[in-house]
Amino acid sequence: MFFRKLRADIGAAMRNDPAARNRFEVYLTYGGVRALIWHRRAYFFYTRLHFKTLARMMSSWAKFKTGIEIHPAAKIAPGVFIDHGAGVVIGETAEVEEGVVIYQGVTLGGTGKEKGKRHPTVKRNAVISCGAKVLGGFTVGEGARIGAGAVVLKEVPPYATVVGVPGRVVRINGEKTQTLIPEREDPVLKELCALRERVFALEEQLQEQKDKNDSK
């Protein structure tokens, strides 16, 4: 079982990284592959043997060696590729399916101290680009692409492309869309504009009253 998952992880690196020359080199030098090896051991100790402190120690060691922090309870399928990986954080209730590609600086995190499912589920063949933050217990659909630096706070449809802060869908199946997630007005800015107009109107009324008093 362990070696089957290892072969799948190395195979994912070979498919997704044109710089990968051979499987032996990937096994020895790729931080993402090494982090997944440590994670699968930690996951076994955490979920099967319930040696949770030992599992957390293994996770901390992997973070020290690779710069990738994965909670030992996170569910990561075989065949996931973490490219470079420095700064990647994957939370406790996160689920990552086969074929997902995660680049450096990605966070699969939560939005607070809520209990239960608080980290995202990333479906098959999704791509999470550099520096993206996916925060919450929602689903990133199959084949979705999250742009670099995006902050995603809501569910992503399958085969959608999401960019921006906060994240918004700009394409589905390669076709542009402007109506799926429309831009919303900023209620605070709208209220400030209304107050400013009210102040201008009151100033004009005061000036008119002052002019009348001066003319008497």
From 24-28, 31-35, 61-65, 205-209, the region with the lowest mean pLDDT = 205-209
Greater pLDDT, 179 or 199: 199
Confidence of residue 194 (pLDDT cuts 50, 70, 90): confident
Separation between Cα atoms, residue 96 and residue 160, nearest integer Å: 17
DSSP conformational letter for 79: T
The tens digit of pLDDT for each residue in 24-34 reads: 999 999 999 99
Q: What is the pLDDT of residue 23?
A: 92
Verdict on whether the full-model pTM lies above 0.85: no
pLDDT score of 180:
46
Per-residue model confidence (pLDDT) at position 145: 94
pLDDT at 30: 92
Can you tell me the mean pLDDT for 179-199?
63
The Cα–Cα gap between 130 and 152 comes to 13
8 Å CB contact between 129 and 151 = no
Asked whether the predicted pLDDT for residue 100 surpasses 90, the reply is: yes
Q: Which residues lie across from 172 on neighbouring strands?
A: 160, 175
| Distance, CA of 214 to CA of 208 (rounded, Å) | 10
Q: CA 71 → CA 89, 169, 177, 185, distances in Å?
A: 8, 29, 36, 38
Burial of residue 119 (CB within 10 Å: 0-12, 13-18, 19+) is buried
Please state whether the peptide bond connecting residue 166 to the residue before it is cis, i.e. omega within 30 degrees of 0. Answer: yes
pLDDT at 181: 47
